[in-house]
Chains A and B, each alone.
Chain A
Amino acid sequence: EDQVTQSPEALRLQEGESSSLNCSYTVSGLRGLFWYRQDPGKGPEFLFTLYSAGEEKEKERLKATLTKKESFLHITAPKPEDSATYLCAAQRGYQKVTFGTGTKLQVIP
């Protein structure tokens, strides 16, 4: 059975304090690893797709990396507007996507 586990469940950072979110997955035949951001009361918003181990992608203060067993979302010098829940999802087919339960990030000014 496909499994995606995110840690920590919640993370509180001071503005400017860098950290990483973890996404561990057990999916045979991974086609893609997705990161989404979800704000309260809204739908998930796409951030990154990673397709193979060793791949990295960056967007502003966010950088996503992928190994054969896990993915990390690194947040450098976060700002309060980065506060959100971050979801990762592992895909092995367009209809076979397993989502983690998310990491709720709070960045305090």
Chain B
Amino acid sequence: DAGITQSPRYKITETGRQVTLMCHQTWSHSYMFWYRQDLGHGLRLIYYSAAADITDKGEVPDGYVVSRSKTENFPLTLESATRSQTSVYFCASLGGLNTEAFFGQGTRLTVV
């Protein structure tokens, strides 16, 4: 199916473990993003990518790592999960500059 998909939808992990959230889009969009959404905060940008092998930090990058070896995939890794990283994570893509973003359905991550 065309679109942007995230996996897993739900994840519970322990403090200190490494966890990777996956994002896949079928449009060949150049720009991809990772956001987190927490109560009382708007969506906050973690990392973004303008193209394969080009990534950069957003507003809240600490504790996260990304890679983009292929245009369609943009995984987000929490190297050593902390409770403060409990959140809902959204991946998004842009078809072009200053256009609307298309969001995945989100991954709800709980760190215990």
Contacts and interface: CB of A to CB of B under 8 A. Distances in A.
A24 interface: no
A34 B42 CA distance: 13
Contacts of A89: 42-43
Given A43-B90, A101-B40, A102-B42, A95 B103 contact: no
Given A91-B98, A94-B94, A43 B42 contact: no
Given A41-B106, A87-B43, A49 B94 contact: no
Interface in A14-29: none
Interface residues of A, number: 23
Given A42-B106, A43-B104, A44-B103, A101 B42 contact: yes
A71 interface: no
Interface of A: 4, 31-32, 34, 36, 41-46, 49, 87, 89, 91, 94-95, 97-102
The 8 closest A-B pairs by CB, nearest first: A43-B103, A99-B42, A46-B100, A99-B43, A94-B97, A44-B103, A31-B98, A95-B48
